[in-house]
Structure 1
Amino acid sequence: MAGGGAGRLIAHPAQRRTLVVLSIAQALGGVANGVALGVGSLLVAQVTGREELAGLAATLLVLGGAALAVPLARLAVRSGRRVALTTGALLALGGTVLLAVGGTLGAAWMVLPGFLVLGGATAINLQSRFAATDLSSPSRRGRDLALVVWMTTIGVIVGPNLIAPGDALGTALGLPHLVGAYVISGSALAVTALVLWTALRPDPLLLARQGLPPREGAHPRLRVREHPRAVAAIVAVAGAHATMVGVMALTPVHLEHAGHGLAAIGFTMSAHTAGMYALSPVFGWLTDRLGGRVAVLVGVGLLALSVAANLALPPAAAPVGLALLGLGWSAATVAGSALVAGAVETDLRPALQGRSDLVLGLAGAAAGAAAGPVLGLVGYAGLNLAMLPIIAAIAVAAVLATGARGAGGVQRLAGASR
C-alpha cells in the first residue's frame, strides 16, 4: 500500500531505490570518516605541537555529530530526508575545507572547529539508518536498517587505506604532510551530497507521510515523556554505544602497556571493527524474526561475554574480547534502533531519532572521556567491570522498550507505535 504509517504491511515500491541510494551514500560517507579519523589525531598533534591533545580529533567528531543530530532531524521534519542528509554532507564538506586550510596554515584554531563541523558526516551516517526504515514494512524494518549499517563496512575498510595515497596527492599539490587526506575525504563527501540530492527521489520520509490523517499544527511536537518505550529504546542504544566506546578507546593503551606492538593493536582493532559491522544483517534478520527485545538481549549477552573474555584471557587474546564487543554493539544497536524507529507515529519519528542520535553521541563521548581516568585508577580489568552496570541497564531497557506486546516478534513491535 502506498500510504504511510505503522500499519503498512508491505514495503513501498520506492523502498528498493531508497535503500540503494542510502547504501551508496553510507559507503561514501564511511570512506570520508575513515580517512578523516585515521589521521585526525596526528593532524591535531601536528598543528598544536602537543601529543596529549591528539584525542581531541575523535572527541570533537563525536560531539559534532551529536550537536548536529537534532538540527538535521528538525530539518528532515520540515523538508524531508533528502534536504537534511544533503545539508549534513555539505556541512561535513565544509569541515574538510577548514581542516585542509587549517592544516596548511598550521592553525589549530581552524583545525579543531573543523572536526566539529566534520561531525556532520557522522550525523548523516546515523540518520541514514533511520531513513532506511521510513518506507519499510514492520517485517523488514530490522533488515533494511541493518543493510545501511552494514554498508559502513566498505568505508571502514577502504577509508584508512586511502590515507597514504591521499598524503601523496597532497604532496603533489604542494600541501603539507597529512593535509592531502582531507582532499580525499572532501571529495567523498562532495559525491555523497551529489548522490543524495539527485537520487534520493522520491523522498522516503515525505512519501511515508502521504495518507496520514492531518494533525493539529504544521509540525507535531514530540513530547518524549509521553513515550516511555521510546525513552527505554534510546537508553538501550546509548548504553550499548557507551559500553563499546569505553572499552574500545583504551584497549590500544592496555595492549601497549602489555608490550604489544602496532601490528597486534591494529589486528585487535580490525577484529573489533569486523564485529561491529560484518554481521549487522544477521542481527537485522534476528530483530525481524524474533523481535527487538530478543535481539537486544542477544547483544547484552555478547557484551557480557566480551567483558568475561577481557578479564579471563591474556592480552594476546584481546582480538577475541574486542570482536565480541563489536558483535554485542551491533546486535544491540541494530535492534535498539529498530525499536526507536517504530516507537512513535511516522510524523514524530525524525524528532525522536534525532534525540536518540544526540544521546548516543553524548554517551559515547562521556564514556570515552571517563575511560582514561578509570583505567588509571583501577586498570583494564576494572574498566571492564565498570561496564557491567551499563550492560544490565541495557537489558532492563530492552524489556521496558517492548513491554508485553514487544516480546513476540515484529507484529507486536509494530503495535508498539503509538
Structure 2
Amino acid sequence: MTSTAPTPTTAPIPDPAQAQPRILRVLVTSQILSGAGLAAGVTVGALLAQDMLGSTSLAGLPSALFTAGSALAAVAVGRISQTRGRRPGLAAGYLTGAIGSAGVITAAVLDNPVLLFLALFVYGAGTATNLQARYAGADLAPASHRARAVSTVLVATTLGGVAGPNLAAPTGRLAEHLGIPNLAGPFILSGAAYALAALALALWLRPDPLLLARTLAQAKEPEAGANPAAADGGDTSEGRGGVVLGALVMVLTQLVMVAIMTMTPVHMHDHGHGTAASGLVIALHIGAMYLPSPLTGWLVDRYGPMKVAAASGVTLLTAGILAATAPGDSVALLALALALLGLGWNLGLVSGTAIITDTVPLATRAKTQGLVDVSIAIAGATGGMASGLMVAATSYPDLALTGGILSLALLPAIAASAYRR
C-alpha cells in the first residue's frame, strides 16, 4: 500500500511501514557479509605487521591505521549519504574496504611494510561503513523502536563476525596454496565479503531509507509549521548536549575496546597459543559485540539510553580487571574477558547511537552521524596505537586494567547530563 500527497502531480510515496522490513532485510544481508570482512582482518592484522617488522611495539599500528582510515571514510560516507542517500554512501564505503583488502594481500606477497600500512588505511573504510549502516536501520523506525531497529542491523554482523576469525586457518591454507603468505589469507575473505556487501546494497537498498525519511518529513512540513513543537529538531541546546554525550559514550567504549582487543592475539601468541586459539577468542569477542544487540535495543527503548550507557562503563571495567588477572595460558578466562569487553562495547554503541539519533535533526542527521563516527574512529586509532606501545613498555595486564578504569569516566558524564535534564 502507498500513500499519495494531495496534488495529482506528486509521485506516490512508499509506505514506511512496508518499506522498513525490506530495508532491514537488505541491511542484515550486507552486515553478515561485512562482518566477515571486518573480523577476518582484525584477527591477523597485528600478527601480519609483527611478522613483517619483527617488533611487538608496532603490532598495534595496523589497528591504528585501519581505524584512522575509517575516520576519513566516516566523513566521506556521511557526506555522500547526506547528499545522495544511504545506498550510494554505504556501497562506496564497502567497495573501498574491498580495495584495501586487495592492497594488503599485495603487500604481503611483496613483503612491503609501507604498502601494507597504506592498504590497511584504505581497508578501514569497511569498518566505518559497517558502523554507519546501523543509522540506516533507524531512519524510518518510529521513535519508540529506534534502538531495536539499530540493534537488528548490528546483530546481523554477528554471523559474519563469528565466522570470519574461525576461517583464519582455512583461508591461510588457501593463501599458501595460491602462493600468498599464510597471514594474508583472511584478507582474501575480507575483500570478497566487502565487495559482495557493496553489491547487495547497490542493487537492493530501495527505497533509500534516508531519502524516504526526508520525503515524509517534507510532506509533514505544513503541520510542523503550524506546531513548531512537533518539528524534528527539538530544543537546540538539548540537541547539542545529546550529541556530546552520545559521542562521549561511543568514543570511550571504542577506545577501551580496541586497545584491549588489539593486543590480545599478540598476548596469546607470546604465551604459545596459535592462530586457531586467538581466532576463537576474537570470534567470541565479536559475537559478544553484536549478538546481544536485540536485548540491548529493547533495554534502551524500555529504560532509556542513560542507564544502559552507565551499564556499559561497569561492564568494561569488569572486562579489564578479568583480562588483567587472567593467566596467559588460560584461553577460557581470556575468552570470557573479551566477551565482556564486547558486551560493554555493545551497550555503549547502542545507547550512544540512540542518544545521537533522538537529538539530531533529520536535515543534518547523516552528516552529524558521520562526524561522530570520525571521533569514534580516532578513538579506535588512538587505542590501537597506544596499546602496542604500552604493552611494550609495561605489560598486557597493565593495559587491560588501565582501560577498565578509564571506562568509569562515563559515569560522571552520564550523571551530569541526567541532572541537567
Q: 1:37 to 1:345 in 2, by over 3 A?
A: same
Structure 1 residue 22 corresponds to structure 2 residue 27:
yes
Q: 1:378 to 1:166 in 2, by over 3 A?
A: closer
Report the CA distance between 1:140 and its aligned residue. 1.1
Question: Which runs of structure 2 are paired with 1:19-418 in the superposition (5 Å)?
Answer: 19-45=24-50, 53-175=58-180, 177-213=182-218, 227-252=240-265, 261-262=273-274, 268-310=281-323, 316=330, 317-375=333-391, 379-380=395-396, 382-387=398-403, 390-399=406-415
Aligned-CA RMSD value: 3.3
More deviation in 96-105 or 305-314?
305-314
Report the CA distance between 1:133 and its aligned residue. 0.7
Report the CA distance between 1:64 and its aligned residue. 0.8
Q: Quote the sequence identity (%).
A: 33
User: Is the Cα contact below 8 Å between 1:92 and 1:121 reproduced in 2?
Assistant: yes
User: Is the Cα contact below 8 Å between 2:61 and 2:388 reproduced in 1?
Assistant: no
More deviation in 151-160 or 262-271?
262-271
Q: Which amino acid aligns with 2:293?
A: S
Three-state SS of the structure 2 residue aligned to 1:136 is coil
User: Is the Cα contact below 8 Å between 1:134 and 1:204 reproduced in 2?
Assistant: yes
CA distance in 2, matches of 1:399, 1:261: 42
Q: 1:116 to 1:310 in 2, by over 3 A?
A: closer
CA distance in 2, matches of 1:274, 1:293: 24
Report the CA distance between 1:69 and its aligned residue. 0.5
For normalisation by structure 1, the TM-score amounts to: 0.82
Measured against aligned partners, the alpha-carbon deviations of 1:266-318 in whole angstroms (never above 9, x if no partner) come to 55444433322221211111001111111112222222333444566656434
Q: Which residue of 1 aligns with 2:229?
A: none
Q: 1:383 to 1:41 in 2, by over 3 A?
A: closer
Three-state SS of the structure 1 residue aligned to 2:138 is coil
User: Is the Cα contact below 8 Å between 2:63 and 2:262 reproduced in 1?
Assistant: no
Q: 1:233 to 1:207 in 2, by over 3 A?
A: same
Q: Which residue of 1 aligns with 2:227?
A: none
For normalisation by structure 2, the TM-score amounts to: 0.82
CA distance in 1, matches of 2:77, 2:140: 19
Q: 1:80 to 1:224 in 2, by over 3 A?
A: farther
Q: 1:196 to 1:325 in 2, by over 3 A?
A: same
CA distance in 2, matches of 1:46, 1:372: 14
More deviation in 56-65 or 83-92?
56-65
Number of aligned residue pairs: give it.
392
Report the CA distance between 1:206 and its aligned residue. 0.4
Report the CA distance between 1:347 and its aligned residue. 1.8
Report the CA distance between 1:207 and its aligned residue. 0.5
Unaligned runs of at least 5 residues, structure 1: 4-9, 406-418
More deviation in 58-67 or 170-179?
170-179
User: Is the Cα contact below 8 Å between 2:81 and 2:366 reproduced in 1?
Assistant: yes
Report the CA distance between 1:323 and its aligned residue. 2.5
Q: Structure 1 residue runs of 4+, over 6 Å off?
A: 223-226
CA distance in 2, matches of 1:380, 1:111: 25
CA distance in 2, matches of 1:103, 1:187: 17
Unaligned runs of at least 5 residues, structure 2: 5-14, 225-232
Report the CA distance between 1:152 and its aligned residue. 1.4
Q: 1:264 to 1:33 in 2, by over 3 A?
A: closer
More deviation in 204-213 or 272-281?
272-281
Report the CA distance between 1:30 and its aligned residue. 1.2
Q: 1:186 to 1:291 in 2, by over 3 A?
A: same
Report the CA distance between 1:368 and its aligned residue. 2.8
Q: 1:155 to 1:76 in 2, by over 3 A?
A: same
CA distance in 2, matches of 1:401, 1:122: 30
Q: 1:265 to 1:160 in 2, by over 3 A?
A: closer
